[in-house]
Structure 1
């Protein structure tokens, strides 16, 4: 009899243990299933964030053109097609419904010019998590916690406050998007005020900085154009080409030196204005661009100079003449060339004139005597060289000496 009773007790205990083991196995299976769902949703949410980064410029353009803050959202299949999801996922959770994605531009009234537009997205199952046909906030919390551990911002609605989705960390809340605002609704978001990447520089340049930046003394390489509205300060600026549209300011003497900084370097510049004295320690070279007696222009308060276009080195200045401003030699319109002491019959060579000049000669007789009743003839013949004549009225040599000046007339 005792054996029968002991056997009955043993079987009862074994049955109870079996029930507990079954329940424990079910709990473990359920916990694994919820964790797997959370991890899957985290992967999808991460892909959605990546998709938002890749398509920010397109979304901003859509918002700018339409003025509607509600933007075209991708589906889970779209994320796979775009390459943000590396493998296919179901369109909804295991308990039914579908995954819903909403994308919008925030804040209201933001503009592309101000650079204050951000993409806000939410991702959630269209049905709350249920157990036995009833919303299960505890199970929803396990899913959100598993998803949140992957780096996404997940939350769920509790039984006590089902109208609000609260983040796992408690740092954010959102309105329950499900009809009837049931408990156990699960939702992920990148935040209502930013696109999750406003702390970083966007590769596509569609977000602007809103504050000063400190790059911690590191170098910037392979930079294109740099446009600055303020001061660019550096102890050394090295550039193969520098475009200056306004001013180069120096607290003292501005030196242009070679790359080693050991000696002066030449400057090749176009039109330049020097407001002050210019001291040249060396030869001053000017272009051979002017032709004598051709017209030129002059600015009030300045005088222009240039060299003769024939390359002879003659310097011309833009002078006012009876015919207006013309290029005239700085030595005058008839600069002297050479002096010669001559007698009757001497030969005087013609000067070598720069382009635009014609050889001229002037004879001045000196130290001569003639009959007071006779006339004196002093003249030259030829076109250079010239033959000097100093005679009386009968054409006889008067034995005079004289000085001949040759010059070029312009």
Structure 2
């Protein structure tokens, strides 16, 4: 009898242990299924975030073309797969039924591309709350949200205490329950209400503008196309194959044009050039057009700068006569008496005066070319006037004589 009782107790205990073990296995399996669902949703959310970043420019164009309608066209799971954001196919909804829903909008209201203040906010959620045996299971929804949150998502769920609001894990954020009737155990993932998650970064598509000064930490920028600056470009060294300057080049000192090694001056080829100061040329200068010198030379006035080369300038009054600094004074190039013109003259003919500068005195030299001389008379060649001049050929009796002479006019400084 005692043995029979012991056997009954043993069988009862074994049955209890078996039931407990089965319950534990079921609970473990259920937890694994919920975790897998959360991880899958986390992968989809991560792909959605990448898709928004890659397609922000298109979304902004869509928003602008619609006249500022904030509701955007969200991608499907098939589009996320075809774009390469999702690496494999996923079911269209969770294992308990319903479908995955994606909503997307542009915020804040009235934002513009020009202002650079537009962001995309999105929400991802199953269209049905998680239920167990037909009843909303908040504990299971929490397990799914926790697993999804571990995959870099921002997941939350609604509780029975306040099912109208979905709270993020650890209360990090909250949003309205998107499901009809606002049931408990609704699961939601979002990137926030005022940020698309990428506004802290420089967008590679150029759709978001910088809003402040940037510091690139001393690194180089390569393969840049054009740089348009409204302020100052300051650099100790500027290297360019072609430089187009529409306004001015300013330097606090001498503007040096040097070879690539920076060891010697480099040739320069320009079009028309205006130099408002002195120009020192240490090599050859080829000018295919005209060279206009400054009118600064005062005849016989003091000058300097001849130690390193010949200094030339135009006459100060603008006559067009070119001067050089000779012995510390300005003198005309070609001598102090510049020949102007030739005339063949005879007795009584008038020689016109050259148009000399006010700083120069007109002068004439008469060189007889051929004359007729009476062997018993004296022959004289003379002129009267200070310009014009009248040439006279006379004999010893002051009679007019015959002959031809060359009259050369000058401007004497």
Instruction: Tell me the alpha carbon deviations over residues 281-338 of structure 1, each in whole angstroms, 9 at most, x when there is no partner.
Output: 4555432579xxxxxxx9xx999xxxxxxxxxxxxxxx99xxxxxxxxx99xxx9599
- 1:87 aligned to 2:92? no
Residues of 1 paired with 2:133 and 2:18: CA distance?
22
Gap change, CA 1:246 and 1:171, over 3 Å in 2:
farther
Shift of 1:265: 1.8
- 1:22 aligned to 2:5? no
Residues of 2 paired with 1:151 and 1:288: CA distance?
71
Instruction: Tell me the alpha carbon deviations over residues 220-248 of structure 1, each in whole angstroms, 9 at most, x when there is no partner.
Output: 22221112222222211111112222222
TM-score (norm 1): 0.72
Shift of 1:122: 0.5
TM-score (norm 2): 0.72
- 1:58 aligned to 2:58? yes
Gap change, CA 1:65 and 1:372, over 3 Å in 2:
farther
Residues 159-198 of structure 1 mapped to structure 2, 5 A cutoff = 159-198=160-199
Gap change, CA 1:282 and 1:36, over 3 Å in 2:
closer
Instruction: Tell me the alpha carbon deviations over residues 95-133 of structure 1, each in whole angstroms, 9 at most, x when there is no partner.
Output: 111100001011111101111111111100011111121
Shift of 1:79: 1.6
- 1:275 aligned to 2:310? no
Q: Which residue of 2 aligns with 1:364?
A: 367
Shift of 1:163: 1.5
Residues 99-110 of structure 1 mapped to structure 2, 5 A cutoff = 99-110=100-111
Q: Which residue of 2 aligns with 1:218?
A: 219
Aligned length: 336
Q: Which runs of 5+ in 2 are unaligned?
A: 297-317, 320-332, 343-364, 382-392, 396-400
Considering only aligned residues, what root-mean-square deviation do their CA atoms show, in Å? 3.8
- 1:153 aligned to 2:157? no
Q: Which runs of 5+ in 1 are unaligned?
A: 291-297, 304-318, 321-329, 340-361, 379-389, 393-397
Residues of 2 paired with 1:100 and 1:156: CA distance?
15
Q: Which residue of 2 aligns with 1:352?
A: none
Residues of 1 paired with 2:6 and 2:28: CA distance?
32
Gap change, CA 1:39 and 1:302, over 3 Å in 2:
farther
The farther-off stretch of 119-128 and 79-88 is 79-88
Gap change, CA 1:147 and 1:57, over 3 Å in 2:
same
Shift of 1:71: 0.5
Q: Which residue of 2 aligns with 1:71?
A: 72
Gap change, CA 1:149 and 1:400, over 3 Å in 2:
same
Residues 4-403 of structure 1 mapped to structure 2, 5 A cutoff = 4-66=4-66, 67-281=68-282, 284-287=285-288, 336=339, 364-365=367-368, 370-371=373-374
Shift of 1:77: 2.2
The farther-off stretch of 24-33 and 198-207 is 198-207
